[in-house]
A and B are shown apart, each in its own frame.
Chain A
Amino acid sequence: DAGVIQSPRHEVTEMGQEVTLRCKPISGHNSLFWYRQTMMRGLELLIYFNNNVPIDDSGMPEDRFSAKMPNASFSTLKIQPSEPRDSAVYFCASSPGVQGNEKLFFGSGTQLSVL
Chain B
Amino acid sequence: AQSVTQLDSQVPVFEEAPVELRCNYSSSVSVYLFWYVQYPNQGLQLLLKYLSGSTLVKGINGFEAEFNKSQTSFHLRKPSVHISDTAEYFCAVSSGGGADGLTFGKGTHLIIQP
What CA separation (Å) do A101 and B93 show in the bound complex? Answer: 9
A99 touches B101 (CB 8 A): no
Question: How many residues on the A side are at the interface (Cβ–Cβ under 8 A)?
Answer: 25
Total interface residues on B, CB under 8 Å, equals 26
Question: Which A residues touch B44, using CB under 8 A?
Answer: 43, 91, 93, 104, 106
**Which among B90, B94, B101 has the highest number of chain A CB atoms within 10 Å?**
B101
A91-105 interface code vs B (CB 8 A; 1 in, 0 out): 101000111110110
Q: Residues of A contacting B97 with CB < 8 Å?
A: 100
Chain B 91-114, CB within 8 Å of chain A: the 1/0 string? 000111111111111110000000
Q: Does A108 contact B (CB under 8 A)?
A: yes
Contacts of B36 in A (CB 8 A): 104
Name which residue of chain B comes closest to A111, CB basis: B41
- Is B42's beta carbon under 8 Å from chain A? yes
Residue of B nearest to A108 (CB): B43
Within 8 A of A (CB), among B50-95: 51, 90, 94-95
Does A100 lie within 8 Å of B98, measured CB to CB?
A: yes
Please name all residues of chain B whose beta carbon is closer than 8 Å to the beta carbon of A45 when the two chains form the complex. 101-103
Query: Which 3 A-B pairs have CB atoms at the shortest separation, nearest pair first?
Result: A106-B43, A100-B94, A42-B106
Pairs across A and B, CB under 8 Å, 7 listed = A48-B100, A56-B101, A93-B44, A98-B99, A101-B32, A101-B94, A109-B42
